[in-house]
Amino acid sequence: MLSFCFFSQQALAQSSETAQLRQLAQLAEYIAVDYVAAVENGEVVNEDEYQEMLEFSSIIVSKVSSQFGAEHETTILSQSLALEQAIIAKSSISHIRQLSGSIRGQILAVLPESLLPARLLSEQSTQALFQENCSSCHGVMGKGDGVLAQDLSPEPTNFTDKERAMNRSLLGLFDAISNGLDDTAMPAFTQLKEHQRWSLAFYVGSLAFKTETNTSQRLKNIDLQKWINLNPSQLINNVANIDVDFIDTYRATPKLLFNEQQSPITIAKSQLNAALNAYYNNDYQKANTLAVSAYLDGFELIEHSLDARDEVLRKRIEVNFINLRHVISVVGEETSLLKISAEIFEQLDEAEQLLTGSALSSSALFTASLVILLREGLEALLVVIALMTVLIRTNRRDALKYVHLGWLLALIAGVGTWAVAQTVIDISGASREVMEGVAAMLAAIMLLYVGIWMHSKTNADQWQAYIQKHINTQLRSGTLWGLTLLAFIAVYREVFETVLFYQSLLTQAEPSQFSVAVTGFMAGVVILTVIAWVILKYSIKLPIARFFAATTYLLLALAFILMGKAISALQEAALISISPLPIHLDIPWIGVGSSWQGAFAQIAVILAFVLYRIATKQKTMISK
């Protein structure tokens, strides 16, 4: 416990240090942007602005010595002193911008890469967010003319000022929204989620730019990290193939650039780079979080597509991601970390070539579409069918509506959750896995309970006596709504992920091939329907004792599978550690993985059933 507290405090201290460095970078940029409003031709034209420039430069100087090691302090401190003296001397704006830009670049060089969202909020949602939080000061159109603006000093930023916007980076805007600006009326919007703050930063950063260019053609290979770190003037001067028209197009319409960059493999690489930077900055907790995100928010989404082309490569990448998580949270594992991460980057490049070299063939697309539905839907179907057959055999067909209500609500809720996640909230891969893991564990426990209950009725005489005494009194509203809940859990945990996988699969297909994906989906529906029909038809014809025995072991098998998948999901979300077995096992269809935690959990399910049987036999023998 003491060591946990120590490392937690250390992580908080490192996070605080990163925030302070980002604040210094923000101050340097703010000087570069606003100095022009304070000094003109060597004369002070706005005393308040000039005093603010002096204050900000003094803060930078005073904090540099406490924030940097010896290898960076000398350079940054000398540049900071030079900036302070240049402001005192009322130097030209070009000289001030050169010094402040150099300071900011030096600071950003020692910081880890920013953790970017997978997408922006919709334009409508972002505009509503701006009107609710920003328009009272910055104005409805972002011109700095809000109803409160006339009483503020300095005046709120006019985001439509092109000259100012050319010298303001998106990272600087994000930091200003996140942390506020000292000695100004700009507050820190800590109540907003990081995804919302990034969307606002891209939005206000777009207001000064307009384009007449046809934006249907999207440029590739743009470094999104560099795009947010540098202001437009720096991008034009320092990055090849970026000119004024390019800046106008992609600052005015950020979603084009953003969508292009955020393929699953791009996300995996970006998060992995950020994880390595966090590790080398001794922020091991953040490094582990980013490594988990690299897999769940990136690579996992193209697993089915990659399976259709190279299943062996997919398994190798999965194993390497697990190995990476074992070393990235541990001090002194630089050698192993470099080796594993280099292998992952190489394998991701190989996967990217396979997936982007050409569209999936029609046969591969059909197979992937079919497998997604069967893999995600079969368990849920078996749970629902088992519940239905139990009700039918207990002469409670009137209660079937409760089961149907459960899976229908799950379909609606699953698709609805996915739709909300695309537009309103940002559900991370880790959150998705936690949701799936908890749901699977609850379903496994409930199925084990129902299975044990059914096993106690495998004797026909016992069942008839139970029917006479209990069935019409115990299967009332509370129990029936419990069936609804179980059906809901079993189906909901699959629907959200299924939609996500299909969305990713379709990015690997040409528009003309969408009908092939639909055909694969419909084939899966047909197969699942046939399975349901066969189970219902023949299970109902079984003698009552044999029916309950068969259903008991079906539910036990489902509980076994779901418990394994629950542990695997919680491990992928980094809530449960991974202790590998001596031999590698990976049988996802039955939930078996290569960790001791998963093995123990699945053994516990079997052990609970075995202990129940032993206790039942002993009780029977005593009664005789």
The better pLDDT of the pair 575, 42 is held by 42
Contact criterion met (CB below 8 Å) for 563 and 444: yes
The partner residues of 587 in beta bridges, in order of sequence, read 592
Contact criterion met (CB below 8 Å) for 407 and 546: no
Question: Where is average pLDDT lowest: 112-121, 299-308, 511-520, 552-561?
Answer: 112-121
As a whole number, mean pLDDT of residues 161-177 equals 89
φ, ψ for residue 311 (rounded to 5)?
A: -65, -35
- The DSSP secondary-structure symbol of 303 reads H
As a whole number, mean pLDDT of residues 553-561 equals 79
Helices (H), 150-243: 162-165, 170-179, 194-204, 224-229, 232-238
Contact criterion met (CB below 8 Å) for 167 and 31: no
- Residue 605 CB coordination number (10 Å): 22
- 130 pLDDT band, cuts 50/70/90, is very high
| Superfamily of segment(s) 123-261 | Cytochrome c-like domain (1.10.760.10)
Q: Rounded CA gap, 110 and 585, in Å?
A: 41
Question: Quick one: which of 443, 444, 446, 430 has its CA closest to 569?
Answer: 430
Q: Which two tokens stand for residue 383?
A: 């749970």
pLDDT in tens, 183-228: 778 888 888 888 888 889 999 999 999 875 544 444 445 677 788 8
For residue 9, the model assigns a pLDDT of 36
Q: Rounded CA gap, 415 and 417, in Å?
A: 5
The Cα angle at residue 369 between residues 363 and 374, in degrees rounded to 5: 125
The H or E element that residue 283 is part of is: none
φ, ψ for residue 379 (rounded to 5)?
A: -60, -45
- 464 pLDDT band, cuts 50/70/90, is very low
Q: Which two tokens stand for residue 482?
A: 């419990």
Q: SS3 of 284, please?
A: helix
For residue 258, the model assigns a pLDDT of 63
Rank 2-16, 113-127, 325-339 by mean pLDDT and report only the highest: 325-339
Contact criterion met (CB below 8 Å) for 292 and 574: yes
As a whole number, mean pLDDT of residues 271-286 equals 83
* Per-residue burial over 26-46, b = 16 or more CB atoms within 10 Å of its CB, e = otherwise: bbbbbbbbbbbbbbeeeeeee
For residue 118, the model assigns a pLDDT of 63
pLDDT in tens, 44-61: 998 888 988 898 888 888
Q: Rounded CA gap, 504 and 97, in Å?
A: 43
* Per-residue burial over 470-491, b = 16 or more CB atoms within 10 Å of its CB, e = otherwise: eeeeebeeeebeebbbbbbbbb
- 511 pLDDT band, cuts 50/70/90, is low
Alpha-carbon radius of gyration of the chain: 30
